[in-house]
């Protein structure tokens, strides 16, 4: 299916967001890898990082087919369309685990939607990435469910990480000026609808591990990434 | 910058396990892992990520099927030539 110029613009907006999210998430994890607390955790997060880079690479390749812009040559943080969430640095394993859980849960919700996209290139990628996103999510859920009840300290630390990261993760569903066009063209549902699904799915798991979700009233504070308003940390990550 | 994605992936694969030390931030994990002794083994099993055969191929399947078909045809033609020569 060839895209009309206006639809190509909308699809480019979406694919660039997806590519940049995965790329910056990979940078964020890679930056933390040397601080992993043991070799098993190091090994697992190295695999996850590689997966994020591979997905980003495939999305950038798709962008080459639909746009003449040289997205791979960007160096400035403001030219990135990743969510602010992706660039926030990790201070420890609890951060890494909770961030990866929220990112993969959001990714899974999006991919489940994109597998029906009325654009074969994107639909094809969504179908190939789905099994990997499920495995990533299951890994995070397994670790949270085992560690949270292990000790009081573990529960407290994971709860703190969840309280910090949960409101910021809503930025993964920040709408853009192209959101409505994408929905009209049958590419994906509105970002708002995807966010609602995310907000319904996360509590289902979090309640089973006896953690609680914080009030996320101020989630708008973490919007802006989709229009290039990036955190200073992204500039640091891109230098690395 | 992004053109170095392949290098980053290769770098990750080649990088040896670094010397790891439990930081103050991760001290909670020591006791938690001691209570859940099997969790690291389960974690490693859980992360066996299936490698998608076509994850890096963003082109719609039809085009790739055509390429594969072409390759198959060429192979078949070569085989026919070899069989003819043998005869």
Beta carbons within 10 angstroms of residue A235's beta carbon: 15
Measured distance CA(B26)–CA(A154) in Å, rounded: 10
The whole-number average pLDDT for the span A56-69 is: 93
CB contact under 8 A, B55 and A37: no
- Which pair of tokens denotes residue A218? 């101020």
Residue B82: pLDDT band with limits 50, 70, 90: low
Q: At what angle do helices B39-46 and A39-66 cross, to 10 degrees?
A: 20
Residue B63: pLDDT band with limits 50, 70, 90: very low
**Amino acid B36: pLDDT:** 84
Residue B51: pLDDT band with limits 50, 70, 90: low
Residue A112: which of A204, A19, A194 has the closest Cα? A194
**Amino acid B35: pLDDT:** 86
The whole-number average pLDDT for the span A35-60 is: 93
Residue A60: which of A72, A52, A46 has the closest Cα? A72
Average pLDDT value for chain A: 94
| Maximum CA extent, chain A | 57
- Which pair of tokens denotes residue A204? 């289902």
Residue B67 — φ and ψ, nearest 5°?
-65, -45
**Amino acid B16: pLDDT:** 59
User: Of A93, A124, A143, which has the smallest distance from its Cβ to B26's Cβ?
Assistant: A93
Contacts of A56 in chain B (CB under 8 A): 2, 5
Q: Chain A: nearest CA to B79, how far in angstroms?
A: 33
* In contact, A81 and A17? CB cutoff 8 Å: yes
Measured distance CA(A12)–CA(A233) in Å, rounded: 25
**Amino acid A142: pLDDT:** 94
Q: Chain B: nearest CA to A26, how far in angstroms?
A: 10
**Amino acid A220: pLDDT:** 82
Residue B32: which of A53, A5, A38, A13 has the closest Cα? A38
User: Of B5, B32, B44, which has the smallest distance from its Cβ to A53's Cβ?
Assistant: B5
Contacts of B16 in chain A (CB under 8 A): none
Over residues A76-132, the pLDDT tens digits come to 999 999 999 999 999 999 999 999 999 999 999 999 999 999 999 999 999 999 999
Contacts of B26 in chain A (CB under 8 A): 37, 92-94
Residue B72: pLDDT band with limits 50, 70, 90: low
Residue A91: which of A24, A136, A35 has the closest Cα? A35
CB contact under 8 A, A54 and B61: no
Q: Chain A: nearest CA to B74, how far in angstroms?
A: 27
Which residues 60-79 of A are in CB contact (within 8 Å) with B? 60-62, 65, 71-75
Task: Flag whether pLDDT at A226 surpasses 90.
Answer: yes
Half-sphere exposure for A119 (CA within 13 Å, toward CB): 28
**Amino acid B76: pLDDT:** 58
- Which pair of tokens denotes residue B73? 């045809």
CB contact under 8 A, A120 and B61: yes
* In contact, A214 and A166? CB cutoff 8 Å: yes
**Look-up of token digits 């529960």:** A155
- Which pair of tokens denotes residue A161? 């990480």
Residue B17 — φ and ψ, nearest 5°?
-60, 130
Q: Chain B: nearest CA to A49, how far in angstroms?
A: 8
**Amino acid B61: pLDDT:** 43
The whole-number average pLDDT for the span A197-221 is: 93
**Amino acid A239: pLDDT:** 86
Measured distance CA(B17)–CA(B82) in Å, rounded: 50
**Amino acid B84: pLDDT:** 65
Give yes or no for B14 touching A (CB within 8 A): no
Half-sphere exposure for A210 (CA within 13 Å, toward CB): 11
The whole-number average pLDDT for the span A17-45 is: 93
Contacts of A55 in chain B (CB under 8 A): 55
**ipTM of the complex model:** 0.81
CB contact under 8 A, B43 and A139: yes
Beta carbons within 10 angstroms of residue A212's beta carbon: 12
Measured distance CA(B13)–CA(B36) in Å, rounded: 29
This prediction's pTM: 0.85
The whole-number average pLDDT for the span A42-58 is: 94
Give exposure, A50-68, as e/b (b: 16+ Cβ within 10 Å).
bbbbbbbbbbbbbbeebbe
**Look-up of token digits 């602010």:** A84
**Amino acid B57: pLDDT:** 44
Average pLDDT value for chain B: 67
Contacts of B22 in chain A (CB under 8 A): 37-38
Return the minimum-mean-pLDDT range out of A58-67, A131-140, B25-34, B56-65.
B56-65
CB contact under 8 A, A121 and B59: yes
- Those residues whose C-beta lies under 8 Å from the C-beta of residue A47, and which sit 6 or more positions away, are B47, B49
**Look-up of token digits 């799915």:** A201
Which residues 27-56 of B are in CB contact (within 8 Å) with A? 28-29, 31-33, 35-36, 39-40, 42-44, 46-50, 52-56
Residues in chain A: 240
Over residues B17-40, the pLDDT tens digits come to 565 678 889 999 999 998 888 888
Over residues A147-187, the pLDDT tens digits come to 999 999 999 999 999 999 999 999 999 999 999 999 999 99
Which residues 14-53 of A are in CB contact (within 8 Å) with B? 23, 26, 30, 33-44, 46-51, 53
């Amino acid at each position: 299916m060839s895209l009309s110029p206006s639809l190509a613009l909308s699809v480019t907006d979406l694919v660039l967001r997806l590519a940049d999210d995965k790329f910056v998430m990979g940078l964020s994890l890679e930056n933390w890898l040397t601080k992993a607390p043991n070799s098993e955790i190091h090994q697992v997060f190295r695999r996850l990082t590689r997966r994020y880079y591979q997905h980003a690479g495939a999305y950038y390749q798709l962008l080459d087919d639909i746009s003449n812009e040289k997205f791979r040559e960007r160096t400035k943080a403001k030219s990135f369309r990743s969510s602010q969430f992706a660039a926030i640095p990790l201070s420890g394993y609890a951060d890494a685990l909770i961030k990866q859980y929220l990112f993969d849960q959001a990714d899974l919700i999006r991919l489940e939607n994109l597998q029906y996209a009325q654009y074969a290139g994107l639909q094809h990628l969504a179908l190939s990435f789905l099994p990997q996103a499920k495995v990533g999510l299951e890994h995070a859920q397994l670790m949270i469910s085992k560690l949270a009840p292990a000790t009081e300290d573990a529960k407290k630390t994971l709860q703190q990480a969840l309280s910090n990261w949960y409101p910021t993760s809503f930025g993964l569903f920040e709408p853009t000026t192209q959101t409505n066009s994408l929905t009209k063209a049958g590419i994906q549902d509105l970002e708002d609808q995807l966010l609602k699904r995310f907000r319904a799915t996360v509590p289902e798991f979090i309640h089973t591990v006896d953690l609680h979700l914080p009030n996320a009233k101020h989630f708008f504070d973490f919007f802006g990434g989709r229009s290039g308003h990036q955190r200073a940390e992204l500039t640091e990550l891109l230098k690395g | 910058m992004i053109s170095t994605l392949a290098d980053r992936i290769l770098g990750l694969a080649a990088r040896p396990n670094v010397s790891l030390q439990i930081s103050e931030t991760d001290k909670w994990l020591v006791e938690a892992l001691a209570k859940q002794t099997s969790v690291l083994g389960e974690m490693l099993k859980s992360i066996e990520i299936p490698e998608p055969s076509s994850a890096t191929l963003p082109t719609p399947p039809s085009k790739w099927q055509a390429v594969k078909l072409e390759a198959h045809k060429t192979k078949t033609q070569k085989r026919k030539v070899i069989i003819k020569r043998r005869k």
